[in-house]
Amino acid sequence: MQTLVTDQPEEAARHLNRGETVAFPTETVYGLGADALDPDAVAGIFRAKGRPSDNPLIVHVSSPDQISEVAQEIGDDARRLIERYFPGPLTLVLNKRDTLPDIVSAGLPTVGVRCPAHPQAAEFLRHCNHPVAAPSANVSGRPSPTDWQTVEHDLDGRIACLLRGEPSTIGLESTIVDCTTEPPLLLRSGAISLEALRELVPDIEVATSCRKGETPKSPGQKYRHYSPEAEIILVETSLKNLPTQPPAAWIGLSTPPAGATKSLQCRDLNEYARVLFGFFRTCDAEGIREIYCELPREEGIGRAIRERLVKAAG
């Protein structure tokens, strides 16, 4: 398959409307989309990524009005979150409509729904005939792509079209909240923090999938994820020297330790989130064997960074 690279959302949408797979930029990470109401098209996503069929996809809508095409009744908590954070980096798990193909939800009675704020993504979705099912646009198991070049590296020749845009500004996947449970559950941390969610939904709880060593609640969380080839070593405090032989790398907020072949000191948590997956990819390309990652404090987007780092460390 020849992969067409384009800057035109409308052209990308024409491919999607023909039942093909299309990668597109969003503010979180790049997604790989197909028509959510066309099971054959959605099967193309699983094929291209090598994704296990029991891992559900998030459905992307162009506006909150479109949610009713894929989900049933919306409760009060979900409604408050939608009013405040759609469009934005938040996915809500709702009860699905019977008309949504089972392949999208991996057989679950629920569906994850998100409305991206990214201008190109929004324009692309507006030109699509139906909501768009889209996981991250990487080969399954690799870190999510935050720029178009990484999508091309992973999926060139395996997808019909790549909508080229700027690098993702957030760099980590969306926050996921399950609104079908009482109380609602945070299934995956992201840029919209637990603190911010609690302002609207005070009784929200953190799912066991987000806690270390417990059984995942969100299906995808059981898979190895976000992982570079290099070994990830977590460090809680700043290091003076790397306790290893090169080639080893370091990333964090403190002053980099001596002895790192490669290091990246981030100015703040937002930058840490934005550059993390790209750093993993570069380290792999440069043959780095170990990556020391400084765990940030568990507040704001720091919780999401920690969650990804703990998973990447396995």
For 294, residues 6+ apart whose C-beta sits below 8 A from its C-beta are: 235, 236, 237, 238, 250, 251, 252, 253, 254
Measured between alpha carbons, how far is residue 272 from residues 36, 191, 227 in Å? 33, 12, 16
225 is in an annotated binding site: no
Q: How far is the CB of 289 from ligand AMP (least distance, A)?
A: 27
Where do the H-state alpha helices sit in the chain? 9-17, 39-49, 76-85, 102-105, 119-127, 148-155, 194-200, 269-285, 302-313
Tokens linked to 3: 């992969």
Tell me which of ligand AMP, Mg ion, none is bound by residue 111, counting a contact when its beta carbon lies within the kind-specific cut-off of 5 to 8 angstroms.
ligand AMP
Nearer Cβ to Mg ion (174/180): 174
Tell me which of Mg ion, ligand AMP, none is bound by residue 263, counting a contact when its beta carbon lies within the kind-specific cut-off of 5 to 8 angstroms.
none
Q: How far is the CB of 159 from Mg ion (least distance, A)?
A: 15
What distance lies between CA 98 and its chain's CA centroid?
25
62 is in an annotated binding site: no
Tell me which of Mg ion, ligand AMP, none is bound by residue 133, counting a contact when its beta carbon lies within the kind-specific cut-off of 5 to 8 angstroms.
none
Tokens linked to 206: 């953190």
Strands (E), 54-150: 58-60, 90-95, 110-114, 132-133
- Residue from 105, 136, 193, 221 touching Mg ion (CB under 5 A): that is 136
Tell me which of ligand AMP, Mg ion, none is bound by residue 167, counting a contact when its beta carbon lies within the kind-specific cut-off of 5 to 8 angstroms.
none
Number of residues engaging Mg ion in binding (CB under 5 A): 2
Tokens 């198991």 locate to: 141
Tokens 């009005």 locate to: 65
Q: How far is the CB of 196 from ligand AMP (least distance, A)?
A: 19
C-alpha 162/C-alpha 159 separation (Å) is 8
x-marked contacts with Mg ion along 222-251 as a string, rule CB under 5 A: ------------------------------
Nearer Cβ to ligand AMP (218/227): 218
Per the annotation, binding residues for L-threonine are 28, 60, 114, 134, 174
Pick out the residues of the known binding site for ATP.
51, 55, 110, 136, 144, 188, 226
